[in-house]
Structure 1
Amino acid sequence: MTTLHRRGASLLTFCIPTYNRVGSVVPLVRRVLECDSDEIEIVVADNCSTDDTLAQLESIGDPRLVVLRNTVNRGALFNQVNVLLQGSGIYSALLLDKDSVDPAILPAFLDFLRRESPSTGYCEYHQPVGSPVRRFQQGADALKGMAYSCHHPSGYFFRKADLHDIRIVERFSEHAVVGNFPFEFMQAELAMRGPAAIFQEPVFVPESLAGAKAVKSFTINAMKEDAFFSPKGRLNTAVRFSAHIYSLPLPRETQKQLVFDRFAQGLWLSTVGYRSVMANEAICEHYHIAPRRVSRLELISIATTYLRDFVAQLKSLRQGVDHPDSGDLLLDTVRRLVRRVGRGIT
């Protein structure tokens, strides 16, 4: 990795992994730099782009901008994880190269970080300006309130020293381990180290559906059976999260509740959520597939398969700890199936 610019310490590093998106990453960088604070910096990690991304970024000339270039393309997942360790900020915040920020809200976000010193969190973009911060105590409270949420990647923030301590590149940059959600694993572990929070003002702004439709994803192709939003992808994610929960130093009952929550989340997303995605033309176009109607009968089949496979895979987990009895879990899931999913399949 080569460095094109370098600067001193800051409070917050905006970490932007990029590949061949000069048309969006350059305006994004300029947008962030509209905030005149010396407490911010931007690190752009270019993954061997073949367009003129580097030349245009070099022309900006702001000392708060650090541009890194990977010597070889290591893939999107590695670039997204590794960039979080770069730069001098006390905090790292992820920002995808196709998204944006509202520079008018950045001072409030910086003040929040400086005042409250959370270990981790994310910025919610659905709430209006002025919405209160949601705070969570270290440990189970934070895990129940915000961890494993599958939130949009832009807006996750982490205390960088903790990211180094938990060795994120070594542990969370392989797709077989984390799928498309590496930041959930990091966030859960940092929530065990200190208080966490959701900053509920729209400082981070994801790309529009029109923008997603116009430019296809470079990293996700829904033609693959295990694409993250497919039923199989959601099952794999729920199982990976459950395995990670069992690795955390938590009371058995807390682990059981968190695992059930992951089961319920995955079941909802693999049925009702999947139907919503497949009906959305812009999202389907972005992920290289055609929209279609998912029938009620298909949803019932998906739910049945998900239930069976989740219980089977949960039973086979080997994390060196006691697991909740699979029979008890099966009864639990059947009891709550109609209550949590049945209402949505109408």
Structure 2
Amino acid sequence: MTATDRAPATALSFCIPTFNRSSTVQALVRRVLQCDDPDIEVVVLDNGSTDDTLSRLASIDDPRLSVHTNGSNRGVIFNILHVLLKARGDYCCLLLDKDSVDPAGITAFKSFLQKERPATGFCEYGPATGHVADLFEAGLPALRKVGYACHHPSGYFFEAKRLRGLDIATRFSDFDYVGHFPLDFMQAELSLQGRAAVYHCDLFSPEQLTATAKKSFGTHAGKEDAFFSPKGRLKMATNFSRHIARLPIDGGQKRALITDRYLQGLITSTLGYRRLLANELICNHYHIATRRVGLKETLSEAVGFHKGFMQGLSTDAPARAMALSTTTIALAFTWRAIGALARRLARAWA
């Protein structure tokens, strides 16, 4: 491991895992460091890049920057987990090497974390609305709003001391279990320990997908269970549900959360998948060709998801005890549909 001189413990660490994106990661680090707040740091963990990432980062002279390397490529999940563990801040915030941040908003974000002390949360993207954040009490409210959200990774934040207490490098390093969503398992558990937050100020910006945007290193649709495919969504909904079945909450809360995961997975594996395959920019990013998904295929995927989800729960003893009935699912789906219609009507009448 190599690293620059470490800054003293600080309030907020921006943690950037990187691989072979020397120009974008250098620009991103410089952008964060445009904020002159002395109580922040930037931690970069290079995953064995073969380009000039390390030399470019070495050219940045700022004591708030710490650069580490794995020496060789240890995989996406390893890099994400370990860059968070290298943070010295009271809070650590993940930032992907292809995304961006507004340095003018960093100090306000740090102040929000110091004042409200959420255990975990994520930042929404888009224009600021004047509404700083939503806070959810520990337990079911936080779990339903923040846990298992599968949000874009940039802007996920954690209270570092609580995060280290989860032993994340050991418990969430199995890609077959956590897929591309280790952060969501971590947020679920931290949502039981303290309040969770969704921060609404315009701070982070994901990479804009264009015809010239770099393709994903971590995802390739050549795999049948790529995370956005119906099989991938089924796998994650099942694994999230198995995780829920082991949380220290009561049975009714577990059933409610597992129902949420069923509905989330069903929608993303059918309608979500159909929309994705119609989007040329997204398909190019994930190395696949666009195509039209017809109604017959969508209905077939829905049936397959339902059967696979129920079978997945039945093979896991704790999850089997939380088995869902068709009636429970139908009622939850109906209630969601009514809620969505009510919100749409309210917006129309506003």
Instruction: Output the TM-score relative to the length of structure 2.
Output: 0.93
**1:218-255 deviation line (CA, Å, top 9, x unaligned):** 11101111000000000001001101111111111000
Amino acid at match of 2:312: Q
> Any conservation in 1 of the 2:43–2:65 contact (CA below 8 Å)?
yes
Q: Which residue of 1 aligns with 2:126?
A: 126
Residue in structure 2 matched with residue 146 of structure 1 by the alignment? 146
2: CA distance between counterparts of 1:298 and 1:335?
Answer: 25
Cα offset for 1:25? 0.4
Aligned to 2:315: 316
- 1:14 is paired with a residue whose SS is strand
- CA distance, structure 2, for counterparts of residue 110 and residue 338 of structure 1: 40
Equivalent in the alignment of 1:15: 15
**1:184 aligns to 2:180 (yes or no):** no
Query: Secondary structure of the residue that 1:43 maps to in structure 2?
Result: strand
Partner of 1:163: 163
How many Å separate the matches in 2 of 1:336 and 1:116?
A: 33
1:331 aligns with 2:327: yes
Map 1:293-304 → 2, pairs under 5 A = 293-304=292-303
Letter in 2 for 1:283: I
Of residues 71-80 and 229-238 in structure 1, the stretch that sits farther from structure 2 once superposed is: 71-80
User: For residue 5 of structure 2, what is the aligned residue in structure 1?
Assistant: 5
- Contact preservation (8 Å) 1:78, 1:174: no
- Retained in 2: the 8 A contact 1:125–1:202? yes
SS in 1 for 2:104: coil
Q: Is the contact made by 1:101 and 1:205 (CA closer than 8 Å) also made in structure 2?
A: yes
Secondary structure in 2 aligned to 1:151? coil
Q: CA deviation at 1:127?
A: 4.7
1:136 partnered with 2:136 = yes
Q: Distance in 2 between matches of 1:225 and 1:113?
A: 40
User: Which whole-Å CA distance do the structure 1 matches of 2:317 and 2:65 have between them?
Assistant: 45
Q: Tell whether the 8 Å contact from 2:49 to 2:72 is kept in structure 1 after alignment.
A: no
For residue 214 of structure 1, give the secondary structure of its aligned residue in structure 2. coil
Letter in structure 2 aligned against 1:332: T
CA 1:202/1:182 → structure 2, altered by over 3 Å: closer, same or farther? same
Deviation >3 Å, runs of 4+:
334-341
Structure 1 residue 339: Cα displacement = 7.5
Q: Per-residue displacement from partner, 1:125-164 (whole Å, max 9, x unpaired)?
A: 1352522310000111100122110000000000111111
Query: What is the rounded CA distance, in whole Å, between the counterparts of 2:34 and 2:129 in structure 1?
Result: 19
1:189-222 Cα deviation digits (max 9, x unpaired): 11111111111112111000117x5211111101
Equivalent position of 2:345 in the other structure = none
The alpha-carbon distance between structure 1 residues 119 and 338, as it changes in their structure 2 partners (threshold 3 A), is closer
Number of residue-to-residue matches in the alignment:
340
Task: Name 2:79's counterpart in structure 1.
Answer: 79
Shift of 1:72: 2.5
- The SS at the match of 1:234 is helix
* TM-superposition CA deviations, 1:281-303 (whole Å, max 9, x none): 11100111001111111100000
The letter for the 2-side match of 1:185 is: F
In the alignment, which residue of structure 2 is the partner of 1:67?
A: 67
Report the Cα distance in structure 2 between the residues aligned to 1:191 and 1:257, rounded to whole angstroms.
Answer: 16
> Which structure 1 residue ranges, 5 or more long, are not aligned?
none
Secondary structure at 2:153 match in 1: coil
> In the superposition, relative to structure 1, how do residues 229 and 200 fare at CA in structure 2: closer, same or farther (>3 Å)?
same
- Contact 2:259/2:332, CA 8 A, preserved across alignment: no
Summarize the Cα distance change of 1:338–1:114 in structure 2 as closer, same or farther, 3 Å threshold. closer
Instruction: Give the 3 Å change call, closer, same or farther, for CA 247–194 of structure 1 in structure 2.
Output: same
Aligned residue for 2:222, secondary structure, equals coil
Look up the equivalent residue of 1:230 and give its one-letter code: S
The verdict on how the C-alpha distance between 1:54 and 1:310 changes in structure 2, with shifts beyond 3 A counting, is same
Looking at structure 1, the residues matched to 90 and 223 of structure 2 have their Cα atoms a distance apart, in angstroms, of 38
CA root-mean-square deviation? 1.9
Task: Report what 1:110 is aligned to.
Answer: 110
Give the secondary-structure state (helix, strand or coil) at the position aligned to 1:67. Answer: strand
Match of 1:215 in 2: 214
Counterpart for residue 346 of structure 2:
none
Post-superposition offset of 1:322: 6.6
Aligned to 1:196: 196
